[in-house]
């Protein structure tokens, strides 16, 4: 297959005076079923979100991103959509959505929807018609293929290609009624749309315009780089972490053409007020430069996944490894450099598909708590959560905060496979244990670390029953759809906001810096001490001002190299809560971060001026 290639776009640094609004914005992701339950049925909903808007306004975020709230059978927690132009009754009604949108706008925030158009639910009317017969009017709206020659359909090995699903197993589903397979890169209930059919594309564009006309402020586009498929042929096993076959559809041959067409058909003329984010697994920097180059009019920014795969072992996600900080620094610096003046970064370490940041890369304090050292556990959780937050938020790009991250929610102590809800985790367990004979204990250990369920437990609002997730939570029906993390009595939003060590207040300060300081919003990024195993240090430079960020991302003290010391520098931000040293101190305590402001003589760059 021939992929679309092009030279990297020209460098065109953003002028702060003429920058798009989203370059100073911070986005907050809401996973609606787990955010807040407003009607007491144990399932998060629109009323619950509306009841917590003041918490988000206080935090200072600019944009709310809602994971899917459309009608869905919920085989993949709403990412299998049965109707693009309605609200699932579990969440509420279109009227309640309009009320939420208005209330969000009244507080000065915007709202973007999750757009899932690589695939639909198998209960969507389009697919119901498509599978009704081979001659159906919408048959070609999905990808249908005959069994492999010489094989009987529905038997192992009869699939049209050897491609694998993101959720384990073959990427093809047998349909007995019409005697063909349909492509499904994800769950069997999520058939892939055929974007080569212009009728499909224009139906999607019409739906998008319908939401924008309703007042929505943009879209986060789920796996949008997978919409253009290449040749339906067998592929050789690759070393990529992507499923077998991904080289035929990840950043496929017409994906840039389709996104440019989408921009013309949907966003042109009103894009200045909107925000678009493309989720793009398996996307190299060279393609990211194309997706986000403003002169190409595709999307404003993308989610890339290289950095959140660095703690995956040779066996992929379910073979977890210890993060090497040097590799993470090199990766993030490469993306900072590669998109500077050419595109735009999204900044994230947490979302609905990733384990909790403070447990994954920091120290969530649970070991200390289990040993009876509650104060030590709380101290280290605060320090590591805020250190990682500062390292991320002070880079160049648009930061994303995932619900509960702002007060340090942690991973979950799952006991056995019956505790998991995540279809990806459950399918992997079945394949690894039942088909491949893996030791269940080893598989469960990996699941506990890496499952998406870690991010999907209900938000812990206070120390009342079920963490205050449900209105009327003393009623039997208010039991949450998924159990609350048992540490909710200690870790919750109310307790954090009342604490002298408040992760929430630290996030407020980070967000305020992005809003008010041009160096944070637009300054060039320069990595310092790339081979240091504890220290993440970098400068942000704009004109004659620079910020130096130094963070000890370990549980041991860290002596600052001479390159990271600034005599007489002004302290801008630190997470140290007692005995704070000035910006010239030679040692960072465990999980300590310091941000200092320095001048750059003659407006030189950080590299040239030794900043």
| Rounded Cα distance, 15 and 26, in Å | 19
What pLDDT shows up at residue 440? 92
For the stretch 124-154, pLDDT in tens is 999 999 999 999 999 999 999 999 999 999 9
For range 404-429, the mean pLDDT: 94
Token pair for 327:
């590799």
Closest CA to 348 of 359, 339, 357, 361: 357
Mean pLDDT of the chain: 93
Closest CA to 276 of 288, 285, 267: 267
Query: Is residue 228 within 8 Å of 254, Cβ to Cβ?
Result: yes
Instruction: Tell me how many helices (H) and strands (E) the chain has.
Output: 18, 20
Token pair for 309:
């795969």
Q: Which candidate in 37, 122, 279, 311 is catalytic?
A: 279
Q: How far apart are the first and last CA of the chain?
A: 46
pLDDT at 579 over 60: no
What pLDDT shows up at residue 610? 35
Give the pLDDT band (50/70/90) at residue 599: confident
Interhelix angle 198-214/255-262, rounded to 10 degrees, is: 40
| Rounded Cα distance, 467 and 457, in Å | 11
What pLDDT shows up at residue 578? 64
Interhelix angle 374-393/503-516, rounded to 10 degrees, is: 10
What pLDDT shows up at residue 567? 79
What pLDDT shows up at residue 577? 78
| Rounded Cα distance, 245 and 492, in Å | 43
Least confident of 8-17, 113-122, 189-198, 462-471: 8-17
pLDDT at 381 over 60: yes
Closest CA to 142 of 110, 189, 85: 189
Tracing tokens 């609002």 back to the chain, one arrives at 461
Give the pLDDT band (50/70/90) at residue 604: very low
Query: Is residue 163 within 8 Å of 172, Cβ to Cβ?
Result: yes
Query: Is residue 365 within 8 Å of 496, Cβ to Cβ?
Result: no
For the stretch 507-553, pLDDT in tens is 999 999 999 999 999 999 999 999 999 999 999 999 999 999 999 99
Query: Is residue 244 within 8 Å of 163, Cβ to Cβ?
Result: yes
What pLDDT shows up at residue 350? 94
Give the pLDDT band (50/70/90) at residue 498: very high
Q: Which candidate in 192, 222, 311, 406 is catalytic?
A: 222
Least confident of 38-52, 175-189, 269-283, 416-430: 416-430
Give the pLDDT band (50/70/90) at residue 68: very high
Token pair for 329:
């620094």
Token pair for 461:
């609002």
What pLDDT shows up at residue 608? 36
What pLDDT shows up at residue 560? 96
Give the pLDDT band (50/70/90) at residue 158: very high
Give the pLDDT band (50/70/90) at residue 611: very low
| Rounded Cα distance, 133 and 123, in Å | 15
Query: Is residue 344 within 8 Å of 20, Cβ to Cβ?
Result: no
Query: Which domains, from first to last, does the chain contain?
Result: 26-118+194-414+451-503 (3.20.20.80), 419-450 (no CATH), 517-609 (2.60.40.1180)
Q: What is 377-413 written as a DSSP string?
A: HHHHHHHHHHHHHHHHHTSSSEEEEETTGGGT-----
What pLDDT shows up at residue 536? 98
Question: Catalytic residue at 279?
Answer: yes
* pTM, rounded to two decimals: 0.94
For the stretch 345-380, pLDDT in tens is 999 999 999 999 999 999 999 999 999 999 999 999
For range 392-403, the mean pLDDT: 98
Percentage, residues of the chain above pLDDT 90: 88
What pLDDT shows up at residue 474? 60
For the stretch 201-260, pLDDT in tens is 999 999 999 999 999 999 999 999 999 999 999 999 877 789 999 999 999 999 999 999
For residue 211, the SS3 value is helix
Give the pLDDT band (50/70/90) at residue 27: very high
Closest CA to 144 of 197, 71, 99: 197
- Give the chain's radius of gyration (CA, Å): 24
Order of strands across the sheet that contains 524-528: 524-528, 535-542, 545-552, 593-599, 570-574
Give the pLDDT band (50/70/90) at residue 9: low
Give the pLDDT band (50/70/90) at residue 2: very low
Query: Is residue 275 within 8 Å of 63, Cβ to Cβ?
Result: yes
């Amino acid at each position: 297959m021939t992929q679309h290639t092009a030279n990297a776009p020209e460098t065109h640094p953003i002028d702060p005076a003429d920058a798009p609004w989203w370059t100073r914005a911070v986005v907050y992701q809401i996973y609606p079923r787990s955010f807040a339950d407003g009607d007491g049925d144990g399932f998060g909903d629109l009323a619950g979100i509306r009841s917590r808007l003041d918490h988000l306004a206080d935090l200072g975020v600019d944009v709310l991103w809602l994971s899917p709230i459309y009608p869905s059978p919920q085989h993949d927690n709403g990412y299998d959509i049965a109707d693009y132009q309605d609200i699932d009754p579990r969440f509420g009604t279109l009227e309640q959505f309009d009320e939420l949108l208005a209330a969000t706008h009244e507080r000065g925030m915007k709202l973007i929807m999750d757009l899932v158009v690589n695939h639909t639910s198998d209960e969507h009317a389009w697919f119901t018609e498509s599978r009704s017969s081979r001659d159906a009017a919408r048959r070609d709206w999905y990808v249908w293929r005959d069994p492999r020659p010489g094989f009987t359909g529905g038997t192992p090995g009869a699939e049209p290609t050897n491609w694998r699903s993101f959720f384990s197993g073959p990427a093809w589903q047998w349909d007995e009624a019409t005697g063909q397979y349909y492509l499904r890169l994800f769950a069997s209930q999520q058939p892939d749309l055929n974007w080569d059919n212009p009728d499909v594309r224009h139906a999607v564009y019409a739906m998008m315009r319908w939401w924008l006309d309703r007042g929505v402020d943009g879209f986060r586009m789920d796996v949008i780089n997978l919409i253009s498929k290449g040749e339906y042929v067998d592929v050789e096993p690759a070393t990529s972490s992507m499923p077998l076959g991904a080289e035929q559809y990840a950043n496929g041959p017409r994906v840039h053409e389709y996104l440019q067409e989408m921009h013309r058909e949907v966003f042109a003329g009103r894009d200045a007020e909107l925000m678009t984010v493309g989720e793009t697994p398996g996307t190299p920097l060279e393609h990211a430069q194309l997706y986000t180059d403003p002169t190409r009019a595709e999307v404003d920014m993308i989610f890339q996944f290289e950095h959140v795969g660095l703690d995956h072992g040779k066996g992929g996600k379910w073979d977890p490894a210890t993060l090497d900080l040097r590799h993470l620094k090199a990766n993030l610096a490469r993306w900072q450099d590669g998109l500077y003046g050419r595109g735009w970064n999204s900044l994230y370490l947490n979302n609905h598909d990733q384990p909790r940041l403070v447990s994954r890369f920091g120290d969530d304090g649970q070991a200390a708590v289990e040993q009876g050292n509650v104060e030590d556990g709380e101290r280290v959780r605060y320090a590591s959560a805020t250190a990682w937050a500062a390292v991320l938020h002070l880079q160049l790009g648009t930061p994303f905060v995932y619900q509960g991250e702002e007060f340090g929610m942690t991973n979950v102590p799952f006991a056995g496979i019956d505790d998991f809800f995540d279809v990806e985790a459950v399918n992997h367990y079945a394949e690894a244990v039942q088909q491949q004979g893996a030791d269940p204990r080893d598989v469960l250990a990996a699941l506990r670390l890496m499952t998406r369920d870690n991010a999907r437990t209900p938000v812990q609002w206070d120390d009342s029953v079920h963490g205050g997730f449900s209105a009327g939570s003393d009623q039997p029906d208010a039991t949450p759809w998924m159990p609350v993390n048992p540490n909710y009595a200690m870790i919750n939003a109310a307790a954090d906001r009342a604490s002298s060590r408040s992760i929430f207040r630290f996030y407020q300060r980070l967000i305020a810096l992005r809003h008010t300081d041009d160096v944070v919003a637009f300054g060039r990024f320069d990595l310092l001490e790339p081979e240091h195993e504890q220290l993440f240090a970098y400068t942000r430079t704009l004109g004659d001002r620079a910020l130096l960020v130094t963070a000890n991302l370990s549980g041991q003290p860290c002596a600052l190299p001479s390159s990271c010391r600034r005599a007489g520098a002004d302290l801008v931000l630190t997470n140290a809560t007692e005995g704070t040293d000035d910006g010239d101190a030679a040692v960072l305590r465990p999980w300590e971060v310091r941000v200092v402001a320095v001048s750059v003589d003659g407006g030189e760059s950080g590299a040239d001026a030794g900043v």
